[in-house]
């Protein structure tokens, strides 16, 4: 197993800078998800690590081996890195087996045993080896692409939005099959995605990227519950922002006085809550209340848009799917847990 270290990486396309001093450590055998919107530099970083793009500055190391540096450039085929692109990019004129074995030594290709092992590893029947890629579903094609990436036993695997083109049900099952296969092989993994739930559920660590820089890097529970700034908070999951006035360990808001995660400077602040922190109940004296504007139903839960009575602020609450209120109803509100306070923008 291999630890991936990226230090001080700058990269650009012509005169346009894309990455700015990127630092990242992915410990051996773990998975890090790089999460961010399109165009923020996620794929560029993956291309630098894989060897498909030369950075303007910085180093990339695999354990103690430098593959990118001021006087070092190791070509992609000698880095021991597997790469799974967004669409899989299987060779349409080759069978599934030939796709998986592509790049293996000739003797290994003739034996064929590695192909069957890899197909089973990613949850596919070895009998599929004789089929063409266009005879497989999208999820099956992505699993074949992973099997091909694992064929040469890489120490690091890079996944570039590998599930984005799949429908929701197929995406979940394929993601789990891929996660199981990677865990079995014990490789170090970097996943690029713009899907928040995918990053939180798939990775040991999440790196939130914004305009070519990391806004925050940490465990999924850490970056979700204690975001470093407004951008990280807003991008990683639904966020409710309120204007408030901080006084030590609490802040006064339209939802009442709330405890904050850490003391905030006295004065006006922006307050972050997650929708699941806002609880609906009965109207009672002294309790904040709101009118139900709309609901978005997901089955297991629902998002409820609410207009606070008094200052008309609109907030969103996440509730259980069996307790959806009707539009126009007046409900009481309460908040559980601690809020986060940020300097106002």
Among 215, 234, 253, the domain boundary falls at: 234
Boundaries of domain holding 39: 4-234
- What pLDDT, on the 0 to 100 scale, is given for residue 162? 84
Least confident of 11-20, 41-50, 177-186: 177-186
**Chain mean position to CA 64:** 27
Q: For the chain, how many structural domains are there in total?
A: 2
Same domain, 41 and 166: yes
- What pLDDT, on the 0 to 100 scale, is given for residue 110? 57
| 223 CB burial (10 A radius; 0-12, 13-18, 19+) | buried
Could you tell me which of 238, 196, 213, 223 has the C-alpha nearest to residue 40? 213
Same domain, 27 and 119: yes
Over range 103-128, report the average pLDDT. Answer: 78
Over range 71-75, report the average pLDDT. Answer: 94
- What pLDDT, on the 0 to 100 scale, is given for residue 343? 84
Same domain, 297 and 322: yes
CATH code of 42's domain: 3.40.50.300
Same domain, 117 and 244: no
Same domain, 184 and 269: no
CATH code of 334's domain: 2.40.50.140
Containing H/E element for 7? Answer: strand 4-13
Same domain, 189 and 251: no
Going by pLDDT thresholds of 50, 70 and 90, the confidence category of residue 251 is very high
Among 191, 211, 234, the domain boundary falls at: 234
Q: What residues contact 150, with CB distance under 8 A and at least 6 apart?
A: 82, 118, 121, 122, 157, 181, 185, 187
Same domain, 140 and 215: yes
Same domain, 185 and 268: no
Same domain, 207 and 334: no
Angstrom distance (rounded) from CA 269 to CA 225: 18
Same domain, 90 and 124: yes
Same domain, 13 and 161: yes
């Amino acid at each position: 197993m291999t630890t991936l270290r990226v230090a001080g990486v700058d990269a650009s396309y012509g005169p346009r800078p894309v990455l700015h001093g990127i630092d990242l450590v992915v410990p051996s055998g773990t998975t890090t998800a790089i999460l961010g919107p399109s165009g923020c530099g996620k794929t560029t970083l993956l291309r630098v690590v894989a060897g498909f793009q030369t950075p303007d500055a910085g180093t990339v190391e695999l354990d103690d081996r430098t593959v990118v540096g001021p006087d070092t450039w190791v070509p992609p085929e000698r880095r021991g890195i597997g790469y799974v692109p967004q669409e899989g990019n299987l060779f349409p004129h080759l069978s599934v087996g030939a796709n998986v074995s592509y790049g293996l030594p000739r003797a290994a290709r003739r034996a064929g045993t590695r192909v069957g092992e890899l197909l089973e590893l990613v949850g596919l029947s070895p009998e599929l080896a004789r089929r063409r890629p266009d005879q497989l579903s999208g999820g099956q094609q992505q699993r074949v692409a992973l099997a091909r990436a694992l064929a040469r036993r890489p120490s690091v695997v890079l996944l570039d939005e590998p599930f984005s083109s799949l429908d929701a049900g197929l995406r979940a099952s394929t993601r789990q099959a891929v996660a199981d296969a990677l865990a079995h092989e014990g490789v170090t993994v970097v996943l690029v995605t713009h899907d928040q739930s995918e990053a939180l559920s798939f990775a040991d660590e999440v790196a939130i990227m914004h305009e070519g820089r990391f806004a925050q890097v940490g465990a999924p529970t850490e970056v979700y519950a204690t975001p470093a700034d407004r951008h990280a908070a807003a991008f990683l999951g639904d966020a409710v922002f309120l204007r408030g006035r901080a006084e030590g360990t609490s802040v006064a808001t339209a939802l009442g006085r709330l405890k904050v995660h850490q003391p905030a400077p006295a004065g006006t602040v922006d307050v972050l809550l997650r929708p699941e922190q806002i609880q609906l109940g009965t109207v009672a004296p002294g309790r904040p209340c709101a009118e139900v504007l709309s609901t978005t139903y997901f089955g297991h839960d629902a998002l409820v848009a609410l207009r606070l009575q008094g200052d008309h602020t609109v907030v969103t609450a996440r509730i259980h799917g069996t307790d959806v209120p009707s539009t126009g109803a007046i409900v009481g509100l309460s908040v559980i847990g601690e809020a986060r306070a940020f300097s106002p923008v």
